[in-house]
């Protein structure tokens, strides 16, 4: 496969590395600040402080990059015309910033000995970092990274859902139900759609990238697709199936009499 990369003339590599290292420092400072503040009083007492801190910083990253990604889609829709070659400062700098977060989070898991316990997340980070770093270093395929980071739009709701659980917000509350449904819908729209478009791009434009890059990209995308399918199934089990089970239980009428209990399910 011959390379046909065209690099954005105004975007310099050092810009990307400045944001990359600055991003790692920023997330480390956030880590120190959240550690200093500690868990909110509403958080369950059995929640590990590291778990809360890690998820909260992930939520902040999702809020920033999710908003950034939406702005990219709205302000620069022309990037879809060439997902490999298109580049500008606003879109480009989002990639090293997000890469910085994933590097920071990987280091945080290593330091806190969570890298093996959270092996699925570790595998996800390896796949993301390998592709994102190469792309912002080479200044190519930035458009595909914008599509990939649509996942952070969903991650905002995914992490909000988990934070609500930690804060003991009931599954039956309107707030939790609303977030869980938006999470499932955005999962399909932002994760599944973007992954599908990237796979199509690999088929349609694979000849435009070097062979080694295509092989690494294929492995990374397979990992991402499998992780997304597993995650979506778990979410459906937790939120959709739990709701259905509760509805069935609510339709169960308990009849008491003569020290006997008869349970009648109403269809």
Q: Identify whether the C-beta of residue 208 lies closer than 8 Å to the C-beta of residue 82.
A: no
Q: What was the pLDDT predicted at 10? A: 75
Mean local confidence (pLDDT), 187-196: 95
User: Residue ranges of the domains in the chain?
Assistant: 13-265
Cα-Cα-Cα-Cα dihedral sign, residues 29, 35, 41, 47: positive
Would you state the pLDDT for residue 249? 55
Whole-number pLDDT of residue 21: 98
Of 70, 103, 98, 73, the C-alpha closest to 86 is 73
pLDDT at 256 over 80: no
Give tens-digit pLDDT for 232-245: 999 998 888 765 55
pLDDT at 243: 56
Among residues of the chain, what percentage have pLDDT more than 90? 75
pTM of the predicted protein model: 0.86
**Are 158 and 185 contacting, i.e. CB atoms less than 8 angstroms apart?**
no
173-179: average pLDDT: 94
Q: pLDDT (tens digit, 9 = 90+) per residue, 95-127?
A: 999 999 999 999 999 999 999 999 889 999 999
- Confidence (pLDDT) at 205: 92
- 72 Cβ neighbours under 8 A, 6+ residues apart: 79, 90, 91, 94, 146
Q: Which pLDDT belongs to residue 11?
A: 83
Give 12 or 263, the one with higher predicted confidence.
Answer: 12
> 44-54, pLDDT tens digit by residue?
988 999 999 99
Q: Which residues are CB-neighbours of 49 under 8 A, at least 6 positions away?
A: 35, 38, 39
Task: Extract the tokens encoding 40.
Answer: 């909110």
- The per-residue pLDDT of the chain, averaged, comes to 88
Residue range 35-57: average pLDDT? 93
**Block residue for tokens 């620069």:** 76
- pLDDT of 5 higher than 50: no
Instruction: List, in order, residues 6 or more apart from 179 with CB less than 8 Å away.
Output: 157, 160, 161, 164
What is the mean predicted confidence (pLDDT) over 72-81?
96
d(CA 98, CA 112): 21
pLDDT in tens, 120-157: 899 999 999 999 999 999 999 999 999 999 999 999 99
pLDDT at 247 over 90: no
């Amino acid at each position: 496969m011959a390379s046909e990369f065209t690099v954005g003339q105004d975007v310099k590599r050092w810009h990307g590395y400045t944001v990359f290292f600055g991003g790692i420092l920023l997330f480390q400072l956030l880590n120190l600040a959240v550690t200093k503040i500690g868990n909110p009083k509403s958080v369950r007492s059995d929640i590990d402080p590291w778990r809360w801190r890690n998820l909260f910083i992930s939520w902040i990253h999702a809020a920033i990059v999710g908003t950034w990604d939406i702005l990219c889609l709205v302000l620069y829709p022309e990037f879809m015309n060439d997902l490999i070659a298109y580049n500008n400062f606003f879109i480009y700098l989002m990639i090293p910033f997000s890469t910085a977060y994933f590097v920071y989070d990987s280091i945080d898991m290593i330091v806190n000995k969570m890298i093996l316990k959270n092996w699925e997340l570790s595998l996800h980070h390896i796949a993301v970092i390998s592709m994102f770093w190469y792309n912002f270093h080479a200044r190519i395929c930035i458009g595909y990274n914008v599509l990939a980071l649509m996942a952070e739009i969903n991650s905002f709701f995914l992490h909000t859902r988990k934070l609500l659980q930690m804060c003991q917000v009931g599954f039956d509350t309107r707030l939790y139900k609303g977030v869980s449904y938006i999470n499932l819908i955005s999962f399909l729209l932002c994760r599944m759609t973007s992954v599908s478009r990237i796979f199509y791009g690999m088929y349609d434009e694979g000849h435009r990238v070097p062979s080694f890059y295509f092989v690494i990209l294929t492995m990374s995308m397979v990992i991402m697709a499998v992780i997304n399918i597993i995650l979506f199934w778990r979410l459906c089990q937790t939120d959709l199936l739990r709701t259905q089970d509760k509805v069935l239980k609510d339709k169960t009428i308990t009849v008491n009499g003569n020290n006997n209990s008869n349970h009648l399910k109403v269809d």
